[in-house]
Structure 1
Amino acid sequence: MDGVTASTGGLHILDDLAWRGLIAQSTDLDALRRDLDTGTVTLYSGIDPTAPSAHIGHLLQWLTLARFQQAGHRPIALVGGATGLIGDPKPTSERTLNDRDVVAGWVDKLGAQLRPFLDFSDAPNGALLVNNLDWTEGLSALDFLRDVGKHFRVGRMLAKEAVSRRMESEEGISYAEFSYQLLQSYDFLELYRRYGCTLQTGGSDQWGNLTAGTDLVHRVEGRSLHAIGTPLITKADGTKFGKTESGTVWLDPGLTSPYAFYQFWIQAEDAMVGTYLRAFTWLSHDEITELERLTEEKPQAREAQRALARAVTTLVHGEDEVARAEAASRALFGRGELAALDATTLAAAVAEIPSYTAARSENPTIVDLLVGSGLSASRGAARRTVAEGGAYVNNAKVETEDWTPADADLLHGRWLVLRRGKRNAAGVELAGT
Structure 2
Amino acid sequence: MTYHPKSDFMHVMMERGFLADCTDYQGLDDALSQGVVTTYIGYDATASSLHVGHLLNIMMLRWLQKTGHQPITLMGGGTTKVGDPSFRADERPLLTPDQIDANITGMQQVFAKYLTYGDGPTDALMLNNAEWLDGLNYLDFLRDIGRHFSVNRMLSFESVKSRLDREQSLSFLEFNYMILQAYDFLELNRRYGCVLQMGGSDQWGNIVNGIDLTRRVLDQQIFGLTSPLLTTSDGRKMGKSQGGAMWLNADMLSPYEFWQFWRNTNDADVGRFLKLYTEIPVEECDRLGALEGAEINAAKIILANAVTTLCHGADAAATAQETAREVFEKGGVGDDLPTLELSPDEVLDGISIIQVLVRAGLAKSGKDAKRLIAENGARIDDTLLDDPAMMLDTDALSAPVKLSAGKKRHALVKLAL
Give TM class, smaller chain. Answer: 0.7 to 0.9
Q: Which of the numbers 164, 167, 172 marks the counterpart of 1:167?
A: 164
- After TM superposition, list the pairs within 5 Å mapping 1:126-165 onto structure 2: 126-165=123-162
CA contact (8 A) 1:92 1:166 kept: yes
Percentage of pairs with the same residue? 39
Q: Which moved more, 1:306-315 or 1:284-293?
A: 284-293
Paired residues of 2:70 and 2:122 also in contact (CA < 8 A):
yes
Distance 1:26 1:50 in 2: 27
Q: Which residue of 1 aligns with 2:114?
A: 117
**1:32 equivalent in alignment to 2:17:** no
**Cα deviation, residue 223, structure 1:** 1.9
The answer to whether structure 1 residue 310 and structure 2 residue 301 are counterparts is: no
Match status 1:415 vs 2:400: yes
Determine if contact 1:415/1:427 at 8 Å carries over to the other structure: no
CA gap of 1:423–1:347, structure 2 versus 1, over 3 A, is closer
Q: Measured at CA, do residues 217 and 430 of structure 1 come closer, stay the same or move farther in structure 2, by a change above 3 Å?
A: closer
Structure 2 residue aligned with 1:182: 179
- Which residue number in structure 1 is paired with residue 316 of structure 2? 321
The TM-score, its normalising length taken from structure 1, stands at 0.79
C-alpha distance in structure 1 between counterparts of 2:131 and 2:170, whole Å? 27
Give the TM-score normalised by the residue count of structure 2: 0.82
* 1:76 matched residue in structure 2: 72
Structure 1 residue runs without a partner (length 5+): 1-7, 352-357, 363-371, 382-390, 396-404
**Counterpart Cα distance in 2 of 1:117 and 1:253:** 15
CA–CA distance in 1 between the matches of 2:135 and 2:403?
A: 60
Which position in structure 2 is the counterpart of 1:20? 16
Question: For the aligned residues, what is the CA RMSD?
Answer: 3.4
Tell whether 2:331 aligns with 1:330: no
Specify the SS of the correspondent of 2:195. strand
Kindly provide the amino acid, as one letter, of the partner of residue 400 in structure 2: W
Aligned to 1:197: 194
The alpha-carbon deviation at position 303 of structure 1 amounts to 2.1
Paired with 2:119 and 2:408, the residues of 1 have a C-alpha distance of: 53
Deviations 1:277-321 (A, max 9, x none): 11111112232122123x2x4455412211110011111111222
Q: What residue is the counterpart of 1:214 in the other structure? A: 211
| C-alpha distance in 1 between matches for 2:126 and 2:77 | 12
For the residue of structure 1 that corresponds to 2:337, the secondary structure is helix
**CA–CA separation in structure 2 for the residues paired with 1:203 and 1:425:** 30
Q: Determine which of 315, 335, 346 is the counterpart of 2:337.
A: 346
Contact 1:243 1:249 in 2 (8 A): yes
Q: Structure 1 13/429 Cα, relative in aligned 2: closer, same or farther at 3 Å?
A: closer
Residue 252 of structure 2 is aligned to residue 255 of structure 1: yes
Distance in 1 of aligned mates of 2:153 and 2:112: 36
Unpaired runs of 5+ residues, structure 2, are 351-368, 384-391
- In structure 2, the CA distance between the partners of 1:425 and 1:72, relative to structure 1 (3 Å rule), is closer
Letter in structure 2 aligned against 1:29: Y
Letter aligned with residue 70 of structure 1 = K
Task: Give 1:169 deviation, angstroms.
Answer: 4.0
* Shift in Å, 1:376: 9.0
Partner of 2:89: 92
Please report how far the alpha carbon of residue 243 of structure 1 lies from its aligned counterpart in structure 2 after TM superposition: 0.5
Q: What is the letter of the counterpart of residue 83 of structure 1?
A: T
Q: Could you give the per-residue CA deviations for residues 103-146 of structure 1, whole angstroms, max 9, x where no partner exists?
A: 12212222232122111133221111100000111110011111
Structure ID, larger Rg: 1
Match among 276, 279, 282 for residue 279 of structure 2: 282
